[in-house]
Structure 1
Amino acid sequence: MSFPVERLPSSSKGDEIASLMRFEIISGRLKKGDVVSENSLAKTYHASRSPAREALRILQAEGLLRLERLGAVVVGLTEKDMEEINDVRFLIESFVMKECAKNANDSLYAYLRYTLENMRISAINNDFVEFSIQDITFHEAIIEASNHKRILHVWKGIKNIVVTALLIATEKRMMERDQIDNLIKKHSDIIDAMKDGDAQKIEDALKIHFVDTRKTVFESIFTNQSMTE
């Protein structure tokens, strides 16, 4: 499996290279300490040095590598890194869900139900890429509906790593249909809690979902990384 750049919104060549490299790093194919250069990236991805340089800067900003005089050194993604990303996600998503619940936005709930239906269709078709895209769309729709500029900025800073980790984990989940059905139900429970407007129910529903997702992501990523060492 490689990162499905063709299934995501149009982006620059630098973004595409960054997406492919990010997947290589998080999946463990590129290991901590590996060195890559602009020239090697340009050759591998059939690009000029400019987008290769852009990709390296993007990944440095995400903390996945560091730029040195002789090239870019892979830093990788540790379990602590992923824990911190999960903490940030829970903090911002629990907040925006509670804020959106106060406004009783029927159009938002209708859109969230629509994404759930797309997730079900993707599961039937065993399309883990589309399932992952719809999963992210669900969460991002709530964040955007909060109309909170600073939270949206924080989300964009971690989104690419979250998407990549989710793709790896969802491919594994697709092997067990019960897990997928359970995941869809947890998203439905979040909608129900938001419609009830009960802050504690929202937090509980999100926490249950995150605990389950954390388990699958950690098993998929860090078990896979250890196998490639």
Structure 2
Amino acid sequence: DQEKKEMYDLRLMLESFAFSKLSGTDTQHIVKEMKKQLEMMKVAVQFEDAEAFTQHDFEFHEVMIQATNHQYLKVFWNHLKPVMESLILISMRQRMANDPKDFERIHSNHQVFIDAVENDDASILRKAFHLNFDDVGENIEAFWLR
């Protein structure tokens, strides 16, 4: 569990850094792509497809990373991606089997991410991080959003 928490902390650090790099820029295309991925996540849940859900969930978060055009950020993200995808897929398979109604909460939480990017608001992003990852562990405060 400690390794899983550390992975999530690293992911949060990368995503918050990406958010800070995009702050003050036109994020309309990013928001549009995030909304598209969220809708695809909802479709995957309708068809009980944990693999597709995981793919679109990762693409949802990856939108900000790719939009930074930051070479080292992309390298870190790409190294983290296979492990994170595996952890998320295992979690989503269990959730689809045992608690499918929880996806409504997950979708709402992802909307908070979109709101943060759309409004260029770090406090909303912090809220999104906590909504999405507090079940992983306590100390998830993003390094770049203080």
> Fold conserved (TM > 0.5)?
yes
Task: Give the alignment partner of residue 145 of structure 1, picking from 61, 64, 67.
Answer: 67
Q: Deviations over 1:171-227 (max 9, x none)?
A: 011132221111111111111012111212212212321224x27xxxxxxxxxxxx
Count, aligned residues: 136
Amino acid at match of 2:67: A
- Contact 2:51 2:89 (C-alpha < 8 Å) held by counterparts: yes
**Runs of at least 5 residues in structure 2 that lack an aligned partner in the other structure:** 138-146
Q: How far, CA to CA, are the matches of 2:111 and 2:22 in structure 1?
A: 16
Q: How far, CA to CA, are the matches of 1:209 and 1:101 in structure 2?
A: 21
- In structure 1, the partner of 2:104 is 181
Q: How far, CA to CA, are the matches of 1:97 and 1:208 in structure 2?
A: 17
- In structure 2, the partner of 1:125 is 47
Q: How far, CA to CA, are the matches of 1:177 and 1:168 in structure 2?
A: 14
- In structure 2, the partner of 1:204 is 127
Amino acid at match of 1:179: D
> In angstroms, what is the RMSD of aligned CA positions?
1.5
1:170 is displaced (CA, Å) by 0.2
- Contact 1:109 1:191 (C-alpha < 8 Å) held by counterparts: yes
- Contact 1:101 1:195 (C-alpha < 8 Å) held by counterparts: no
Amino acid at match of 1:95: F
1:80 is displaced (CA, Å) by 2.5
TM-score (normalised: structure 2): 0.86
Identity %: 25
Structure 1 segments of 4 or more deviating over 6 A?
none
- In structure 2, the partner of 1:90 is 12
In the TM superposition, 1:98-137 aligns within 5 A as 98-137=20-59
1:159 is displaced (CA, Å) by 0.8
1:119 is displaced (CA, Å) by 0.6
The secondary structure found in structure 2 opposite 1:174 is helix
Q: How far, CA to CA, are the matches of 2:105 and 2:30 in structure 1?
A: 22
The secondary structure found in structure 1 opposite 2:101 is helix
TM-score (normalised: structure 1): 0.56
Higher relative contact order (CA 8 A, sep 6+): 2
- Hey, which of these two has a bigger chunk of helix by percent? 2
- Hey, which of these two has a bigger chunk of strand by percent? 1
Q: How far, CA to CA, are the matches of 2:16 and 2:129 in structure 1?
A: 7
Task: Rate the CA distance shift 1:174–1:149 in 2: closer, same or farther, 3 A.
Answer: same
- In structure 1, the partner of 2:117 is 194
